[in-house]
Amino acid sequence: MHAIVTGGSSGIGLALVRRLAGRGDRVSVLALDNDDLATLAAEPPTPSVHTAAIDVADRAAVYGAIHETEAAQGPCHLLVTCAGIVTPGRFWEMPDEEFIRHMDVNYLGTLWPTRAVVPGMMNRRSGAIVMISSFAGLLGVYGYGAYSPSKFAVRGLAETLRMELKPYGVHVAGVYPSDVDTPMLAAENKLKPPETFAVSGTAKMQSTDQVVDAILRGVSRRQATILCDRSSATLAALAGAAPWMARMITDRSVARAVGSG
């Protein structure tokens, strides 16, 4: 099997790349040309891992890289879009450029790889596409005015393509992790407003291996919605069935944080 993983040089993506390569799959990593990719390239040689240094928001670069990786590794059987950014902050304090950058990387960086592999998968009538959204793509969260809408967009894309591609034998899933123990979360925590910590402070941190387990299990079971732990599943069910209650709980958390500030 040939898997393409965007953002596969760090965090969830890197854990997934190592897991897939370890079980003998051919893996192509599309990631920024930075220290993370250099570290991955410096690891003991793994013939099945192919790397391409690109910005996933660059449509032409993504199409070119996927064409090259499929020529080298064979048709893509599994695409997992892990590349993403998050810069928390209060809506009125963030520059316009951050809103554009989040949509470019998180949404378009999911869209372009998907557009590149879908025709081949449809022709072969097989394949799976897994889009990493976020719990903030299920429920709006204080301090995520740039991030959350971009992840809602990923969710909308995943749900739409699930319906469109299912008749062609192509499975599409969205993944909605909460806080995951990654370098990105460590950097994000330095910028979170107190109200954001108050809302998300009760969420149990997930490991990258836990998320990878959920992804692989979800693909094998052809699940459309992949949640990574019981608490996330409970909160997601609450947000869907009783959104007023979810809003009440989060509003109270914000009010307490504002009152103590």
**Active centre residues (catalytic):** 133, 147, 151
What is the three-class DSSP state of 221?
Answer: coil
Tokens read off for 56: 């996933």
Instruction: Give, in order, the Cα–Cα distances in Å from 96 to each of 1, 99, 108, 144, 154.
Output: 41, 6, 17, 14, 20
At 168, which helix (H) or strand (E)? none
Q: Is 64:55 a contact under the CB 8 Å cutoff?
A: no
H-run or E-run covering 2: strand 2-6
For residue 147, the SS3 value is: helix
List residues bridging with 2 in a β-sheet: 26
* Stated length of the chain: 261
Which residue bears the tokens 């520059």? 95
Helix (H, G, I), strand (E, B) or coil at 201: coil
Q: 31: closest CA among 4, 11, 46, 9? A: 9
C-alpha 46/C-alpha 114 separation (Å) is: 26
The SS3 assignment for 128 reads strand
